[in-house]
Structure 1
Amino acid sequence: MLAGAEPIAQYVEEKTGIVIKPVIPTDYTAQQEALCSGEAQMAALNTFGYVRASAKGCADVALVSVRYGSTSYQGQIITQAGSGIEKVEDVAGKKFCRPDPESTSGWIIPSLTMKAAGIDPETDLAEIVDTGGHDAVVIAVYNGDCDAGATFLDARKLVAKDFPDVMDKVAVIATSAPIPNDNISFRPDFPKDLRDKIVQALLSLNDSDEGKEMLKGLFSWQGLEAADDAFYDGFRQQLEAAGVTIEELSK
């Protein structure tokens, strides 16, 4: 991931004269803590990480990523085909893989989906395994190391080269409503003139094949679009409609 961030940092420096030092945190929580403590001044945040950091007054979105021509995506719950797990209710008592406890599509949204199906994910699952990545969740389910798991739609494609039959062997039993994509955010106290220069430099990556390759090399982004905080209100409303708070999901 650092190898993907460094060319973009160098590009921004060449365009603006502003030096950016890429740092890869250990997990989503560490990333948010770095932003809130002032150790980091800008960050690429996942959806839940953004609404959590913004609620603490630590983050203000500037750009949203584009994948497959869209600024939103979906989550999925997967299992081995023929496992007998055919609907969300069937994951009760099963070993469940997730990428990270603060992954939006890999845990936050599927945990709400399970609750809506009458399953308490904290008590009704046999075991919860943190794999460290969406691709790792797919592989764990493929190999039978986990009975079910959650990822973004369709993370199976990440491993299709190494596991050609993954689309047949790993089945999708549920998909989520659209979720806003990840973003680039700044601390609210970051100087506006510097922020504007960085944002314009990053947007200019959309204008060349070389720039698009840089974005692809970071998080498989296909582009960037300007965004503001209101773009994430729909996701906040999903949480509110489910009767949960950001604080509850952060425990």
Structure 2
Amino acid sequence: MKRLIATGLALAALAVPARAEEIKELNFGFISTESSANLAKSFEPLIKDMEKAIGIPVKPFFVGDYAGVIEGMRFKKVDIAWYGNKSAMEAVDRAGGEVFVKTAKPDGSSGYYSLIVTHVDRNDINDLKDVLDCAKGYNFGNGDPNSTSGFLVPSYYVFALNNVDPTKCYKRVVASNHEGNLLAVANKQIDFATNNTENVSRLQATRPAEAAKIKEVWRSPLIAGDPIVWRKDLPSDLKAKIYTFFMTYGRNGTPEEIAHAREVLAKTSDGWGPFLASSDAQLIPVRQLELFKAKVKAENDDKLSADEKAAKVKEINAKLADLDDQQKKLPSM
């Protein structure tokens, strides 16, 4: 652990030269997986402990959609943020962000699954074949366009691979955050919706009566744990303090301090354990998914000529090959 922290601190110091500018407070952004009130209650204890550790106030930043947090980081109104993998990719590419740790479970495992869920009473919707029946006139609850589990993963595995356009297949498509989609399914306002195992677990803890009305009908391959992203241009000494806090929280200290941190983490979001070191490399599978989706779309685009289609697919295959090479060069984590 000491070696891991030392490596992280060295990387942080090399990434950005020290600046004279003094950061008097840190703005922590949170993607809108549920209401701001619920997010604030969930993350407040972690934020308070972070304030004590880094020595400056930490202010939560809540907005109505994922794009707001990305744009907040782009315009330096957000210094650090909890993202999903797709929104983290956008923050890295467009907002000067950098992944440095990721969330994990209390047992040390990291990752979760995208879901399609419906009401437990729906005997006509039991598997993916039922979900893709375009003749039924279903109402579908999609996720935020920048959500990994609510949008990107089902867009590829459920719809692109089956050559189905949700806007043409269903009577109505509505977009909401994870909590909104779960409650809409529980209240029979929509027929089925995207979601993930983390938010279903959280609903089971916070609103068990509604959670009991939800059933899973499709599950994705494993998705990497949520990234925590900081602005690359934060002062190196501040980044060192932030990194040390995340990598030691729930691991180092007196038995009482460790127990306290573990209790806080267990009550954060759907229940976390100590964070794990990470980097932008964890976003490679998300980039591959985006390219796979674009490739499937190009291959099925009747508006493209054979030559245009071949050129587009060749370009995408080259990008996929480059990502594959990058992944092969990574050390095992």
What TM-score do you get using the length of structure 2 for normalisation? Answer: 0.65
Unaligned runs of 5+ in 1: 246-251
**Cα distance, 1:48 vs. partner?**
0.9
C-alpha contact 2:104 2:272 (8 A) present in aligned 1: yes
Give the Cα–Cα distance (whole angstroms) in 1 for the partners of residues 171 and 130 of structure 2.
12
Write the mapping of 1:204-215 to structure 2, written as runs, cut at 5 A.
204-207=248-251, 208-215=258-265
Give the Cα–Cα distance (whole angstroms) in 2 for the partners of residues 26 and 43 of structure 1.
15
Structure 2 residue 160 is matched with structure 1 residue 115: yes
Q: Aligned partner of 2:266: which letter?
A: K
RMSD: 2.5
Relative distance call for 1:21 and 1:157 in structure 2 (3 A) is closer
**Cα distance, 1:165 vs. partner?**
8.8
Structure 2 residue 123 is matched with structure 1 residue 78: no
> Equivalent of 1:196, from 216, 230, 240?
240
Instruction: Pick 1 or 2: higher relative contact order, CA cutoff 8 A, min separation 6.
Output: 1
Matched residue, 1:6: 44
Give the Cα–Cα distance (whole angstroms) in 2 for the partners of residues 20 and 89 of structure 1.
47
Q: Aligned partner of 2:215: which letter?
A: A
Per-residue deviation, residues 123-161 of structure 1 (Å, max 9, x unmatched): 3222122343x3432332233211111111264444446
Structure 2 residue 303 is matched with structure 1 residue 242: no
Matched residue, 2:139: 95
Matched residue, 1:221: 272
Matched residue, 1:248: none
Relative distance call for 1:171 and 1:154 in structure 2 (3 A) is farther
Give the Cα–Cα distance (whole angstroms) in 2 for the partners of residues 204 and 148 of structure 1.
40
Give the Cα–Cα distance (whole angstroms) in 1 for the partners of residues 228 and 85 of structure 2.
11
> Equivalent of 1:24, from 34, 50, 62?
62
C-alpha contact 1:65 1:223 (8 A) present in aligned 2: yes
**Cα distance, 1:33 vs. partner?**
0.4
C-alpha contact 2:186 2:210 (8 A) present in aligned 1: no
Larger Rg: 2
Relative distance call for 1:110 and 1:201 in structure 2 (3 A) is same
**Cα distance, 1:163 vs. partner?**
4.8
Matched residue, 1:249: none
Compare 201-210 and 191-200 and name the one that shifted more: 201-210
Per-residue deviation, residues 185-225 of structure 1 (Å, max 9, x unmatched): 11111112211111111222222121122233432322211
Q: Aligned partner of 1:204: which letter?
A: T
Matched residue, 1:175: 219
**Equivalent position SS for 1:239:** helix
Relative distance call for 1:94 and 1:109 in structure 2 (3 A) is same
Give the Cα–Cα distance (whole angstroms) in 2 for the partners of residues 122 and 104 of structure 1.
19
Matched residue, 1:230: 281
Relative distance call for 1:131 and 1:231 in structure 2 (3 A) is closer
**Cα distance, 1:28 vs. partner?**
0.8
Give the Cα–Cα distance (whole angstroms) in 2 for the partners of residues 166 and 16 of structure 1.
37
C-alpha contact 1:41 1:187 (8 A) present in aligned 2: yes
Matched residue, 2:82: 44
**Cα distance, 1:110 vs. partner?**
1.1
**Equivalent position SS for 2:146:** coil
Compare 107-116 and 136-145 and name the one that shifted more: 136-145
Q: Aligned partner of 1:227: which letter?
A: S
Give the Cα–Cα distance (whole angstroms) in 1 for the partners of residues 191 and 147 of structure 2.
19
Q: Report sequence identity in percent.
A: 24
